Amino acid sequence: MGNINESLDRVMEIEGAFACAVVDYESGMTLGTRCTVNGFDIEVAASGNTEVVRSKMGVMEALKISGAIDDILISLDTQYHLIRPLPNIGNLFLYVAIDRKRGNLGMARHKVAALEKDMTI
């Protein structure tokens, strides 16, 4: 995959995906976003999930857990929020919001993991 825009376009092809972003977890800044739902502020969601990633990394460090985070799942009553760190690219993570009624969580996780391998910045 050539760049962030192409990567985000592919993420939005995941069944049920309605928003996504590539986010720098050190600054909370987005490098690119997509959103198809009015009223869903992808910038706020992305920067807010920066705190989730930082917190989990801090807990892992405090517990001396080695290794990396594969993904973080937040299940809401109508949505899944999937966070996938991109350690091979830098201090970035991929954030995807998925409609629970239209999406398949297992397939979404599989596709996001596959997309990560092809992502370049």
Cα maximum dimension of the chain: 42
Residue type, 1: M
Task: Please check whether residue 22 is in contact with residue 10, taking contact to mean a CB–CB distance below 8 angstroms.
Answer: no
State pLDDT tens for residues 75-102. 999 999 999 999 888 899 999 999 999 9
Long-range Cβ pairs for the range 35-41 (8 Å, 24+): 36/12, 40/97
State pLDDT tens for residues 5-38. 999 999 999 999 999 999 999 999 999 999 999 9
Please name each of the domains of the chain with its CATH number: 4-115 (3.30.450.30)
